[in-house]
């Protein structure tokens, strides 16, 4: 490799998630890279450790994404509950002109 940062060696492991082993549905996050400015050869054990580390990182990324999805779902449920409570309050005050209780869209 030429030019800054003048890397002399590099090893990389892909950061890829394959849900249910389905390669067509794979998500590529990038690569986990180890580099040095001094030439060296990586051992099999080091490359296996890099691959294992990449797999653990992908797992952590997926767990974080699932946590975000759970939080978003919980927020949506709370908003729906709030909206339903508002609709119930509105219904306690009476029905709309056509005799139906107010709809959730009326309160949100």
pLDDT digits (tens, 9 = 90+) for 20-34: 777 778 889 999 999
Using the predicted structure, report yes or no on whether residue 83 has a pLDDT greater than 60: yes
47 falls within a domain: yes
72 falls within a domain: yes
3 falls within a domain: no
C-alpha dist (Å) from residue 84 to 100, 105, 107: 15, 10, 8
Whether residue 42 contacts residue 49, with contact meaning beta carbons closer than 8 Å, is answered with: no
36-69: string of b/e by CB count within 10 Å (b at 16+)? eeeeeeeeeeeeeebeeebbeebeeeeeeeeeee
20 falls within a domain: yes
**Torsion of the alpha carbons at 33, 39, 40 and 42, rounded to the nearest 10:** 20
55 lies in which domain range? 9-106
99 falls within a domain: yes
- Per the structure, the count of domains in the chain is 1
**Pairwise pLDDT comparison (3 vs 47), residue with the higher score:** 47
């Amino acid at each position: 490799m030429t030019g800054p940062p003048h890397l002399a060696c590099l090893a990389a492991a892909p950061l890829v998630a394959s849900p249910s082993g389905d390669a067509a549905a794979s998500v590529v996050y990038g690569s986990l890279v180890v580099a040095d400015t001094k030439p060296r050869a990586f051992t099999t054990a080091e490359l296996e450790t890099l691959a294992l580390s990449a797999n653990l990182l992908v797992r952590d990324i997926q767990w974080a994404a699932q946590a975000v999805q759970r939080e978003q779902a919980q927020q949506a449920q709370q908003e729906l509950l709030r909206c339903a409570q508002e609709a119930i309050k509105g219904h306690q005050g009476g029905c709309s002109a056509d005799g139906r209780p107010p709809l959730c869209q009326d309160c949100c």
